[in-house]
Structure 1
């Protein structure tokens, strides 16, 4: 028995003598994350039949989508967070005058650009949003600042721009957002024409992104200029958490685009996640059923969604939606415009 006691005493002394070394060895052999990253984006939905865009316009839209995918995927490839990835992708779309967000935003009834955006971290359920911003170059950056540096979720109007200045987020003269195309649409609207017929190829212009990173964390982001001729401080679904933007743990992340009032009434983004979470639907089935529920009450548009495994879903009840995806499993960016286009790969 004495020999056994001496053996255990020696072993205990050895363990006590080298605790740091053992910890260091564990750190060296700790396996790297095995989750595959994935990101999807959209640039708005609408009446986009084949032939409605010139070859040059179609090429420009596809390139714009590819550029946004490149920005978001670069973050994910480097091991960055899904939150950083969706912000990076949306910033590219905000800076592209083709899309109704940031630089290409439409004009409201008073001839001004009023911008909305939201972002949400599925892991923590933190969210930030802004509405009616008029001087912040990239509203999605401001939405994230609201999430990370304020006790609030949603700021609006001049207060949101003031918060942006306090956070040292780049400000621009409101004229920065003006594009001739959007101005001409506004003038047509002022003539009394049906605003729904303006720019039918980009009728519901909103941009967004959803992503999952190598740690399995989900995030969603959305940004928009709203609708041409909007009045009375109208706010759509984009900056409303649970309506146009939502992310929940490792279940799903969603960004929507369409007739915002209907997406709000159906709590579209949250509804999709609840279908995945509570009904055990696939993200594809949940997206399809959510769009069906919006169509049933008269709404039009589309959405993108992703689950914790990186499965991506696109759903729409319009003739098209500017959209794209790329993942670690297929690093070739895949983009599409028309409803009958199938994005290959996973």
Structure 2
């Protein structure tokens, strides 16, 4: 009997200590925060009309509010980033989902990834052509399979099993992207070269969030690089390059010249600097974008969020569609303002 009482007492103490620990952790968690991006690249002032800039900022604001509202109502960081990214995937303004660019063959191929900072589970898809919202498919891969990444026909077969929404590939075609595609074809003919100016290379959407439980999440979605060939896959669906999240360090979503983000494993390296080097999210992002990426002759940007609510929206390109919202402020921007 004494032995049983001792076990029960020890169990009670252990449970109480466990609860106290989590209560303390909850008190130390940062404020509800969501940070989003809609792609980085050649976004010099004057490229868009005032009306176009207003449309971009309105959609960024809508995505911010959608994600933040989810967490205000008790939803998780995972729920928040999906809500925000779906809105951007459904908009023709961004190079993801509805607004995706075209491959050299005149098709739209979509990539996406997502990661849970609490469990470090992740899901990703590459080269899908009929799934309306690739971020939802990436989450389904994470939650409903034993794998991390599915590609092309296999990914779409899994999407059918999961009951996700499919669309005719023509759904993704927008006149603006089609004209960009035709212009690129013409430039190639004139230059007799497959190389394209940097302005054709970038465009992605992404979100990172911190919820009331102190959990981080990150997600990224893209139509890839305009005029890409041979089933090219960039950094957006690559865990550690385009997306990474870990409650012990930070959550990251990347946008830029994917080949360099893959080589530098930018998302993971930022979080490693925070976790192992004690760097702030701002300093870690600055080192990777304005030092390492810059030194390789490439550009792009990242959004980064720490478990204390600290954040960075860092880029070395002319601009990055971006926004942040917490209890005290809401901000959207395009250029280096």
The residue number in structure 2 matching 1:262 is: 260
CA gap 1:221/1:153 in 2 versus in 1, 3 angstroms: same
- The 3-state SS of whatever aligns with 1:277 is helix
Distance in 1, matches of 2:53 and 2:207, equals 20
Shift of 1:329: 3.2
Maintained 8 Å contact 1:283/1:305 = yes
Cα shift at 1:197:
3.7
Count the aligned residue pairs: 311
Structure-to-structure mapping, 1:205-220, within 5 angstroms: 205-220=203-218
Q: Equivalent of 2:148, from 136, 145, 153?
A: 153
Deviation at 1:250, TM superposition (A): 3.4
Q: 1:111 aligns with which of 90, 106, 109?
A: 106
Residue in structure 1 matching 2:202, options 183, 201, 204: 204
Q: CA deviation at 1:312?
A: 1.1
Mapped to 2, the partners of 1:173 and 1:50 lie a distance apart of 35
2:177 matches 1:179: no
Q: TM-score, normalised by structure 1?
A: 0.86
**What's the C-alpha RMSD, in Å, of the aligned pairs?**
2.0
Partner of 1:78: 73
- Deviation, 1:203, is 4.8
**Equivalent in the alignment of 1:131:** 126
Q: Give 1:277's aligned residue.
A: 275
Aligned to 1:250: 248
Query: Which residue pairs with 1:16 in the alignment?
Result: none
**8 A Cα contact 1:195 1:229, kept in partner:** no
> 1:72 and 1:222 mapped to 2: Cα distance?
14
Which piece of structure 1 moves more, 170-179 or 30-39? 30-39
1:60 and 1:195, CA in 2 relative to 1: closer, same or farther beyond 3 A? farther
Tell me how far apart the structure 2 counterparts of residues 135 and 67 of structure 1 sit (CA, whole Å). 25
Q: Which residue of 1 is the match for residue 83 of structure 2?
A: 88
1:122 & 1:297 partners in 2: Cα distance?
Answer: 29
Deviations 1:66-109 (A, max 9, x none): 01101100111112110110111000100010000000000001
The Cα offsets for residues 203-238 of structure 1, whole Å up to 9 and x where unpaired, read as 511000001101110000000000111000000000
- Post-superposition, which runs of at least 4 consecutive aligned residues in structure 1 deviate over 3 A? 30-35, 192-198
Residues 92-103 of structure 1: matches in 2 within 5 Å?
Answer: 92-103=87-98
Contact 1:189 1:195 in 2 (8 A): no
Structure 1 residue 299, shift from structure 2 partner: 1.5
Aligned to 2:229, what secondary structure does the other structure show? coil
CA gap 1:203/1:320 in 2 versus in 1, 3 angstroms: farther
Shift of 1:172: 0.4
Q: Report the counterpart of residue 9 of structure 2 in structure 1.
A: none
Distance 1:195 1:322 in 2: 25
Q: Distance in 2 between matches of 1:192 and 1:288?
A: 34
Larger radius of gyration: 1
CA contact (8 A) 1:195 1:228 kept: no
- Structure 1 match to 2:222: 224
Structure 2 Cα separation of the partners of residues 282 and 275 of structure 1: 8
Residue in 1 that maps onto 2:191: none
CA-CA distance at 1:252 after TM superposition: 0.1
Give how far 1:31 is off.
9.5
SS of corresponding position for 2:218: strand
| TM value normalised by structure 2 | 0.88
What is the aligned partner in structure 2 of residue 312 from structure 1?
A: 311
